[in-house]
Amino acid sequence: MAEQMDEWGQLLTAANTGDSRAYALFLQAVAPVMRGIVRAKGAGLGEAACEDVVQEVLLAIHLKRHTWDPSAPVRPWLYAIARYKVVDAFRSRGRRVDLPIEDFADDLAAEAGPDPTEAADMAKMIGMLDGRSAQIVRKIGLEGASVAETGQLLTMSEGAVRVALHRALKTLAVLRERHVK
Amino acid sequence: MKTDDLIRALAADTRPERPLWALLMLGLLPALAFAVGVVWATLGFRVDLATALVTPVSAARIVLTGALGIVGMRLALLLARPEGRGRARFWPLAVVGAVALGLLAWAYVTIPPEARQMAVVGKTMTTCLVMIPLLSILPVTSILYALRQGATTVPALAGAVAGLAGGGMSAAIYALHCSEDSPLFYVTWYGLSILGVTLVATVLGARLLRW
């Protein structure tokens, strides 16, 4: 377990210096653990709604990743964000959950198979973005285009695509707040 | 949208963000410099400032309010982290409060009873109660702004700490002007001003620091 913590820490450290491959690995490692927690707490919500919450948590982790202090262990930081966001997400769906920090454990990782359920909220909110931002998020996310390819397609510089993507993700979090509440 | 697709989009966004302390300093240092400028330009520094700074009972209020400011700022930076609540230690705040109350008691005992009321009321109570909150507006705002970029899981508490920090720093700056040297005056009125600022910041924090 301690070994895995170090591995997550290494991945996130690399991610915070701009290594997008390490960052993807980090998020892919974290997602099943979050899914396990959310499903355990949200039985009855349905798989798609649970996946919505998982995505909200991942988005929050992304937007707050600079609050991690690299000299501190990743796990308490990560679980604190997840706990805050899961409670918030359930509350805005009219449910109260009690989520003590001890409930977080790796063995809760859900065996979702290779293809977890599609979630709906995020796609709806991407639809609320302005046209170009939505296009950038879809190109990179759904179609797996690189930043460079997306820039060529939209005749934007790579830097401009990065700025637009960053803004779009921030806006998604704000839209989520308004949309669900 | 599938979660793997979202992860791809998130992973492509690798623009580094400023660490929180850098973000805080970027706003707070100019805010404090501006507050010093305002005191200097509108009220003026006290003429015997150099002497006051080496007179213990007078320097004590700058030390105490400054300590409150620094302890509060460190706590704010800690509470800006999601897991900070479990790591925050509040006893330094209690130490500052206890020393201030100790000074108050000492001054109460040592001053002749007939002079007490005059010492408490002083001559500039109103200026003090108005100026410290006014001076604290920008510093508290800059701390709250930095906290908003953070991820506190205790919004009201983080707001309170921001108020203590900004209020303490502003009181220390106001003390450059104020020449009321009795702890009966400054512990009372500086203390009330800082508490007022803290109360407002707590309410603001509870509303603004959610994410």
Residues of B in contact with A81 (CB under 8 A): 82, 151
The reported pLDDT for the residue numbered B161 is 97
Residues of A in contact with B12 (CB under 8 A): 20, 140, 146-147, 162, 165
Q: Which CATH architecture has domain A1-118?
A: Orthogonal Bundle (1.10)
Residue B136, in any domain of the structure? yes
A90 has a chain B CB within 8 A of its CB: no
Instruction: State the pLDDT confidence band at A113, using cuts at 50, 70 and 90.
Output: low
Check: CB of residue B124 under 8 Å from CB of residue B189. Answer: no
The reported pLDDT for the residue numbered A122 is 87
The reported pLDDT for the residue numbered A104 is 72
pLDDT tens per residue across span A36-76: 888 888 777 788 888 888 999 999 999 999 999 888 889 89
Q: Are A79 and B14 in contact (CB < 8 Å)?
A: no
Residues of B in contact with A122 (CB under 8 A): 1, 6
Domain range holding B55? 24-208
The reported pLDDT for the residue numbered A1 is 47
| Closest listed residue to residue B139, CA positions, set B169, B119, B110 | B169
Q: Are A165 and B13 in contact (CB < 8 Å)?
A: yes
Q: Are B10 and A23 in contact (CB < 8 Å)?
A: yes
Residues of A in contact with B82 (CB under 8 A): 64, 67, 77, 80-81, 84
What distance lies between CA A131 and its chain's CA centroid? 22
What distance lies between CA A7 and its chain's CA centroid? 19
pLDDT tens per residue across span B79-133: 999 999 888 999 999 999 999 999 999 999 999 988 888 888 888 999 999 999 9
CB atoms within 10 A of CB A160: 14
Instruction: State the pLDDT confidence band at A111, using cuts at 50, 70 and 90.
Output: low
- The DSSP secondary structure of chain A, one letter per residue, reads -HHHHHHHHHHHHHHHTT-HHHHHHHHHHHHHHHHHHHHHH-TTS-HHHHHHHHHHHHHHHHHTGGG--TTS-HHHHHHHHHHHHHHHHHHHTT------GGG--GGG-----SSPPPPSHHHHHHHHS-HHHHHHHHHHHTS---HHHHHHHTT--HHHHHHHHHHHHHHHHHHHHHHH-
Query: For A116, which of B3, B11, B14 is closest by C-beta distance?
Result: B3
Three-state secondary structure call for residue B56: helix
- pLDDT tens track of chain B, all 211 residues? 888 899 999 999 988 788 899 999 999 999 999 999 999 999 999 999 999 999 999 999 999 999 999 999 999 999 999 999 888 999 999 999 999 999 999 999 999 988 888 888 888 999 999 999 999 999 999 999 999 999 999 999 999 999 999 999 999 999 999 999 899 999 999 999 999 999 999 999 999 999 8
Instruction: State the pLDDT confidence band at A106, using cuts at 50, 70 and 90.
Output: low
Three-state secondary structure call for residue B98: helix
Which residues numbered 42-61 in A keep a CB inside 8 Å of some CB on B? 51, 54-55, 58-60
Q: Which CATH architecture has domain A120-181?
A: Orthogonal Bundle (1.10)
What integer is the mean pLDDT of A99-106?
69
Residue B12, in any domain of the structure? no
So where are chain A's domains? 1-118, 120-181
Top-confidence residue, A99 or A151: A151
Residue B118, in any domain of the structure? yes
The reported pLDDT for the residue numbered A36 is 87
A29 burial type by CB count under 10 A (0-12 exposed, 13-18 middle, 19+ buried): middle
Pick the range with the lowest mean pLDDT from A101-115, A129-143, B98-112, B139-153: A101-115
**Chain B nearest-CA residue for A34:** B3
| Closest listed residue to residue B107, CA positions, set B50, B7, B183 | B183
| Closest listed residue to residue B124, CA positions, set B174, B168, B88, B170 | B174
Rounded-to-integer distance, Cα B86 and Cα A54, Å: 24
Residue A75, min C-alpha distance to chain B (Å): 10
Residue B73, min C-alpha distance to chain A (Å): 16
For chain A, report the end-to-end CA distance as a whole number of angstroms.
37
A157 has a chain B CB within 8 A of its CB: no
User: Residue B49 is encoded by which pair of tokens?
Assistant: 């400032």
Residues of A in contact with B2 (CB under 8 A): 115-116, 118-119
Q: Are B2 and A119 in contact (CB < 8 Å)?
A: yes
**Chain B nearest-CA residue for A21:** B11
| Closest listed residue to residue B160, CA positions, set B86, B99, B85, B101 | B85
Three-state secondary structure call for residue B207: helix
**Chain A nearest-CA residue for B148:** A64
pLDDT of A181 strictly over 70: no
Residue B189, in any domain of the structure? yes
Q: Of all residues in chain B, what percent carry a pLDDT higher than 90?
A: 82
Report the number of distinct structural domains present in chain B.
1
- DSSP H or E run through B67: helix B56-79
Please state at what angle helix B113-121 crosses helix B183-208, rounded to 10 degrees.
Answer: 40
pTM: 0.89
Residues of B in contact with A80 (CB under 8 A): 81-83, 85, 153
Report CA-CA distances (Å) from B95 to B56, B64, B107.
18, 10, 18
Cα Dmax for chain A: 49
Residue B153, min C-alpha distance to chain A (Å): 6
Which residues numbered 88-147 in B keep a CB inside 8 Å of some CB on A? none
